[in-house]
Amino acid sequence: MATFPPRAAAGTIAGLCYESSSELTASDSELNAPFRLIVPRAARLNCPSESEGKAVPAGEALIAALDAVAREATLFAALWFVVGGIDDLLVDLIYVARRVRGRCEMLPALDRPVPAGRIAIFVPAWDESAVIGRMLRAALARFEHPDYRIYVGTYPNDPATIDAVAEVALEDARVRLVIGPRPGGTTKADCLNTLWRALLRDEAAEGFTASAVALHDAEDVVHPLELRVYAHGLIEHAAVQLPVLPLAHPHSRFFAGHYLDEFAESHGRSLVVRQAVGAGLPFAGVGCAIRRDVLGRLAAMRNGAPFDAASLTEDYELGLAIAAMGAPARLVRVTEAPGGPLIAIRAYFPSTIDAAVKQKARWMIGIALAGWDRTGWGGLLQVGDNWMRMRDRRATLEIPVLALAYLSILFWGLSLGAHLLAGTRLPAQSPLMQTVLWTNLALLLWRLAVRAAFVGRAYGWREALWSVPRVLSSNAVALLAARRALFDYVGMLGGAAPRWDKTAHQFPDLAKEPGG
């Protein structure tokens, strides 16, 4: 007989329990046998008296390993979800506190005369021949403002878009066709800089100075009153952002629909709280206007180019850059009339999973990955601003944790199947695990309720109900977009130039849309 030395006192390693004993013995033949595991208490047939300290078959060892992996993965993900849930809960509390205290935006009086000054509207257009003509005609018919001009940026290797814009420009002198010097597509910021230079040429040739520059995309449905809001709002603020409300796509309830949920909550709650804590306001890239003098100061700081051509999310960075200049920007939520519809920008968003993944990947790179390097952090004492920047970059942590959470469900499924085959029970969860999981459930239900409330306010109760199952499609898009973003970002670190990875757009039949 060969004798093992006594084991150490009872302990836990990676969640596996070991008990003390005075001595274990084994025959020489057993010592020479293939390696076998001693099953920890957590996985022993749920009957310690029958199996404690006994060598068990590999099948039971595999069950023990599955239990351990599932347990540790679940606990890790659940703890991170608690941290994120508390972060979101703080935002909710600040929003509620502002509503209870009656603090709201000072809304512009739209019935007053419109302040004098021409508003230049920049519309970058790469491969937009399918929508740009209809968008321009709708804008010309809708805008209620006496003095504006639309500058449309195109590329020399995109003749279809050039032709579509030229057709409208020949009909209405308020549309300017601008063909950039480089083949497309470059970045959207590069195209916007081309439009900025065109505006400067017009100002010099015609002897005027624009009062503001507004930004739009080729698929946007503009609001008739938005230019009036800009004109009044820019009297006191350096920039104004209107809410963006994606249109409900009739054939894409889940993939296009999840944008409804995200923008309803973001532009109804998150940006409001962002302003409340003194953080810089990132722009949405559409439905925003910047005072001409502020943009001119920014251009002077950037060698004549106010938009950073190396950025994939020029709108996000532009808002932070203007805030860093000490120029106040505001989100303005105002209705057409008391109790009437919100003055907002509407558009169709990607309706397929591939298109949504492509768009979300670009946002992820520009904000959470490359944006981290490019925009950095605020000052040491700018707690609110740094908090919001951290929230912007949470995707770098949330997506891996989300993936791990879904994997833990798979592990528990495999573990359950193995226990059923073996005729054993799943191990009981520790008090810590139970507490964390119940906390997660409470935070999840609260988050779903809050999102449904904001979606209901913007779109009605039917879409509010749909927002609950759409969490799954939102998560699926986020996971796939994170993978694409990571590979693209690594390519950028290797020297690849940023490019306009655009998606195909649709323009709605306005006769069928609200307010059309």
Q: Are 374 and 311 in contact (CB under 8 A)?
A: yes
Binned at pLDDT 50, 70 and 90, residue 492 comes out as confident
- Give the DSSP per-residue string, 119-139: EEEEEE-SS-TTTHHHHHHHH
For 154-175, b/e burial (b = at least 16 CB within 10 A) is bbeebeebbebbbebbeeeebb
Mean pLDDT, the chain, rounded, equals 86
| pLDDT tens track for 209-243 | 999 999 999 999 999 999 999 999 999 999 999 99
Q: Using the predicted structure, report yes or no on whether residue 21 has a pLDDT greater than 70.
A: no
Distance in angstroms (rounded) separating the CA atoms of residues 203 and 210: 8
What pLDDT does residue 298 have?
Answer: 96
What pLDDT does residue 493 have?
Answer: 82
What pLDDT does residue 495 have?
Answer: 74
For helices 470-493 and 257-265, the axis angle rounded to 10 degrees is: 80
Peptide bond between residue 133 and the one before it cis (omega within 30 degrees of 0)? no
Binned at pLDDT 50, 70 and 90, residue 514 comes out as low
Binned at pLDDT 50, 70 and 90, residue 320 comes out as very high
Beta bridge partners of 239: 290, 329
Neighbours of 473 (CB within 10 A): 19
Neighbours of 346 (CB within 10 A): 23
Q: Using the predicted structure, report yes or no on whether residue 474 has a pLDDT greater than 70.
A: yes
What pLDDT does residue 108 have?
Answer: 61
- Name every residue whose Cβ is closer than 8 Å to that of residue 91 and which is 6 or more positions away in sequence: 269, 270, 273, 391
Q: Using the predicted structure, report yes or no on whether residue 207 has a pLDDT greater than 70.
A: yes
- Name every residue whose Cβ is closer than 8 Å to that of residue 492 and which is 6 or more positions away in sequence: 365, 370, 498
Span 348-375, average pLDDT: 89
Distance in angstroms (rounded) separating the CA atoms of residues 242 and 247: 15
What pLDDT does residue 39 have?
Answer: 43
Binned at pLDDT 50, 70 and 90, residue 73 comes out as very high
What pLDDT does residue 481 have?
Answer: 93
| pLDDT tens track for 133-182 | 999 999 999 999 999 999 999 999 999 999 999 999 999 999 999 999 99
Domain ranges of the chain: 2-59
What pLDDT does residue 491 have?
Answer: 85
Q: Using the predicted structure, report yes or no on whether residue 29 has a pLDDT greater than 90.
A: no
Most confident of 347-351, 373-377, 412-416: 347-351
Q: Using the predicted structure, report yes or no on whether residue 38 has a pLDDT greater than 90.
A: no
Phi and psi at 189, nearest 5°, equal: -60, -40
Joined together, the tokens standing for residue 9 give: 């006192």
Span 23-48, average pLDDT: 44
Query: For 404, left (φ over 0), alpha (ψ -120 to 50), or beta?
Result: alpha
What pLDDT does residue 279 have?
Answer: 93
Distance in angstroms (rounded) separating the CA atoms of residues 57 and 35: 10
Span 334-351, average pLDDT: 92
What pLDDT does residue 395 have?
Answer: 84
CA-closest candidate to residue 161, choices 511, 513, 504:
504
185, HSE (Cβ side, Cα atoms, 13 Å) = 18
Binned at pLDDT 50, 70 and 90, residue 16 comes out as very low
Q: Which helix (H) or strand (E) holds 316?
A: helix 314-324
What pLDDT does residue 15 have?
Answer: 40
Q: Using the predicted structure, report yes or no on whether residue 337 has a pLDDT greater than 80.
A: yes
Distance in angstroms (rounded) separating the CA atoms of residues 320 and 286: 16
What pLDDT does residue 516 have?
Answer: 52
Binned at pLDDT 50, 70 and 90, residue 127 comes out as very high
CA-closest candidate to residue 488, choices 352, 358, 354, 316:
358
Higher pLDDT pick, 380 / 176:
176
Neighbours of 338 (CB within 10 A): 5
